[in-house]
Structure 1
Amino acid sequence: MTQGAPGTVGTQDTRLIVIRGNSASGKSSVAAGLREKFGRNLAIVGQDNLRRIVLRERDRPGGVNIGLIDLTARYALDNGFNVVIEGILYADRYGTMLQDLVRAHRGVSRCYYLDVPYTETVLRHETKADAEYLQHVTSGHLRDWYREKDLLSDAMETVIDAASTLDDTIQHILRESGLDRVLPVDR
């Protein structure tokens, strides 16, 4: 895992946003919404993409994907991209990496935890359009993966509850991170 000293990643102008929560809590939708509202120059570093697609790795303590998420975010920040890291990102497995990254980032960093009750995650899961995924991931899987209030230490996350609409959550993060005041770069 790549670890840098404080103040060694990105620039004072880059934004780092971490969105965590249980399966089907809305993390990917929020990340996509942020990109849609912001435009280009916003890198989405998705845990599922790097862990399941790129590496085809199970989510285990000490997994290689932890370092790859860190490395990818650092690379994007160092090249002037604003970054959204999104995923379940269990605190006991990913917390140290995320805390080190936030400490090392020169610009504004904000972390969010989407706090959605288990019953609501099941309802949201059932609305996913990917029929093959729905066949392979059941409510039993969701129950096994679910961790109530799996917050990072040091109160570094803003908790957003299930009552917040998708648009309200996106607008809140845009405002609080300052992305609503940053001009996108057309790359």
Structure 2
Amino acid sequence: MELIGNAQSRLIVIRGNSGSGKSALAMAIRNRRPRGIAIIGQDVLRRNILHVPDIKPSLAADYIDVSARFALNRGLHVIIEGILRDDIYGDMLRGLICCHNGKSCCYRYKISFDETLRRHKTKAEAAEFGEIEMRQWWQDDDALAGVEELIIGPDQPLADTVAEVIANCGWEPRSANDVSR
């Protein structure tokens, strides 16, 4: 087992159905910290870079794994965000968490389909896909087996979730105005 990162590095995994708020949370966390956080988005790597289907064996899971290890081993903190179904990405995520020298924090959005659809309609890329595709991707309750995930519910404001993640990582809270770009 090759250890990755260091005692100070943070690995944050944010999972949930399409439209739940994963990307917004990842960006909000990074916006509250100084430079040094790599966001590894499943959609960006799988759909935009690799342009491959979300099936097993997964080239996207392998690419996320390599990307996270690369960033952690070079002193960056890492946020991995995406639907990240357990049956396709679970082994890779468990492997990263197991090998990570620093603190790993895992979160999962648990929100109704109607709420994720409502949230999706407010996004800039809402026209790229809609209710039909979201129903195909929907996972009713896709817990990451063997990993403690903190649940983010539908009524938890983004600011509160960001503050929770920052605290769980052991980082000092900073306002958005304190962060140099």
How do residues 119-158 of structure 1 correspond to structure 2 at under 5 angstroms? 119-130=114-125, 134-158=126-150
- Give per-residue Cα distances to partners, 1:24-72, cap 9 Å, x unaligned: 0000000000010012100001111111111111111112111110000
Residue matched to 2:19: 24
Task: Give the unaligned 5+ runs of structure 2.
Answer: 175-179
Provide the C-alpha distance between the structure 1 equivalents of 2:96 and 2:107, rounded to a whole number of angstroms.
15
Kindly provide the amino acid, as one letter, of the partner of residue 151 in structure 1: A
| TM-score calculated relative to the size of structure 2 | 0.92
Do the aligned partners of 2:163 and 2:173 also contact (CA within 8 Å) in 1? no
How do residues 154-165 of structure 1 correspond to structure 2 at under 5 angstroms? 154-165=146-157
How do residues 80-99 of structure 1 correspond to structure 2 at under 5 angstroms? 80-99=75-94
Percentage of pairs with the same residue: 39
Structure 2 counterpart SS, 1:180:
coil
**Pair 1:181–1:138, CA change in 2 (3 A):** closer
Matched, 1:63 2:58: yes
Among residues 103, 107, 119, which one is paired with 1:112 in the alignment?
A: 107
Provide the C-alpha distance between the structure 2 equivalents of 1:135 and 1:128, rounded to a whole number of angstroms.
9
Matched, 1:172 2:164: yes
Among residues 73, 77, 80, which one is paired with 1:78 in the alignment?
A: 73
Provide the C-alpha distance between the structure 2 equivalents of 1:181 and 1:77, rounded to a whole number of angstroms.
22
Do the aligned partners of 1:22 and 1:147 also contact (CA within 8 Å) in 2? yes
Provide the C-alpha distance between the structure 1 equivalents of 2:88 and 2:33, rounded to a whole number of angstroms.
30
Do the aligned partners of 2:25 and 2:158 also contact (CA within 8 Å) in 1? yes
Q: CA deviation at 1:179?
A: 3.0
| TM-score calculated relative to the size of structure 1 | 0.89
Q: CA deviation at 1:156?
A: 1.8
Provide the C-alpha distance between the structure 1 equivalents of 2:173 and 2:71, rounded to a whole number of angstroms.
20
CA RMSD of aligned residues (A): 1.9
Provide the C-alpha distance between the structure 2 equivalents of 1:28 and 1:179, rounded to a whole number of angstroms.
20
Structure 1 counterpart SS, 2:94:
helix
Regions of 4+ moved over 2 Å: 179-182
Do the aligned partners of 2:94 and 2:147 also contact (CA within 8 Å) in 1? no
Provide the C-alpha distance between the structure 1 equivalents of 2:90 and 2:171, rounded to a whole number of angstroms.
24
Structure 2 counterpart SS, 1:143:
helix
Provide the C-alpha distance between the structure 2 equivalents of 1:161 and 1:180, rounded to a whole number of angstroms.
24
Do the aligned partners of 1:15 and 1:179 also contact (CA within 8 Å) in 2? no
Matched, 1:53 2:48: yes
Provide the C-alpha distance between the structure 2 equivalents of 1:48 and 1:39, rounded to a whole number of angstroms.
24
Q: CA deviation at 1:160?
A: 1.2
Aligned length: 177
Structure 1 counterpart SS, 2:141:
coil
Provide the C-alpha distance between the structure 2 equivalents of 1:161 and 1:171, rounded to a whole number of angstroms.
15
